[in-house]
Amino acid sequence: MFGGFAPPQQSREEIQAMEAEAVFTVQQVAATAFLLYMCKQALNCVTLHPSHKSTAPFAIDMVSKIF
């Protein structure tokens, strides 16, 4: 219909390498999100005044809103 050609097929080794890279990336994202969450919890525990909102940096606040 589109008159194009099929993309080249990837070998089993290439597919496994891409899967390993994808798994590693997901693990990195999960670990980073967890560490940012723990940093925010630690900062909230250290806050001296209860009416003080959050002393967390922008990135930690952003990640907490996503999750």
**pLDDT of 21 strictly over 90:** yes
Question: What are the sequence ranges of the domains in the chain?
Answer: 25-66
Q: Specify the amino acid at residue 56.
A: A
Contact 36, 59 (CB under 8 A): yes
Question: How sure is the predictor about 39, in pLDDT bands with cuts at 50, 70 and 90?
Answer: confident
**pLDDT confidence tier of residue 23, bands split at 50, 70 and 90:** very high
Q: Is pLDDT at 28 greater than 60 in this prediction? A: yes
Task: Give this prediction's pTM.
Answer: 0.53
